[in-house]
Amino acid sequence: MDKSDNIFIAGHRGLVGSAIVRRLEADGFTNLLKRDRHELDLANEAAVAEFFATEKPNVVILAAAKVGGIKANNDYPVEFLLENLRLQNNVISAAHANDVRKLLFLGSSCIYPKLAAQPIREDALLTGPLEPTNDAYAIAKIAGIKLCQAYASEYGENYISAMPTNLYG
């Protein structure tokens, strides 16, 4: 990335997103595009499209997600699945439509099977059942990873995924 890039950090107020912002600022990046959910509803396709067309980010870091604990995951799986699918699909699709040259999608370690051998290898993805208490969230994250891979394969986009693990805060 260049210091002059317009970098959109979706989810800049979350644990990971805020750490990324701090690091970018410390490294001298000054064109950071940050919008909270009251300024930009990432689940609103038209709003996301307008934001991208107006602000013209070169780089996108997608750290935004609807997250919750075990109880919320169990009580509201539809909301977790739909909300996360909407926001990540809107951002990734708008990035492609607006010629964003780099996109980093942040997944989750919960995408791996519940009983995956330790340490978990990347190729363990989709090799067994997920942890039932967060499978709706995990399925949405897997879809985001696969969408980035599809854009890279079909259009040559530089859209990659990373799985932050062992987060606390």
Supply the pLDDT for residue 165: 79
Mean pLDDT by 10 residues, the chain (169 residues): 96 95 97 96 98 98 94 95 98 99 96 93 94 95 98 98 79
- Nearest Cα neighbor of 2 from 33, 28, 34 is 28
Query: What pLDDT, on a 0 to 100 scale, did the predictor assign at position 164?
Result: 87
- pLDDT value at position 11? 97
Architecture in CATH of 7-162 = 3-Layer(aba) Sandwich (3.40)
pTM across the whole model = 0.95
Residues designated as active site: 137
pLDDT at 169: 57
pLDDT value for 121: 92
3-state secondary structure at position 159: strand
- Please list the alpha-helical segments (H only) found in the chain: 15-26, 45-55, 70-75, 77-97, 135-155
Nearest 5°: CA angle at 159, between 58 and 133? 120
> What does the pLDDT read at residue 168?
65
* Residue 18 · residue 64 · CB < 8 Å: no
CA 76/CA 26 separation, integer angstroms: 38
Which sequence spans correspond to the domains of the chain? Answer: 7-162
CB-CB contact of 106 with 94 (8 Å): no
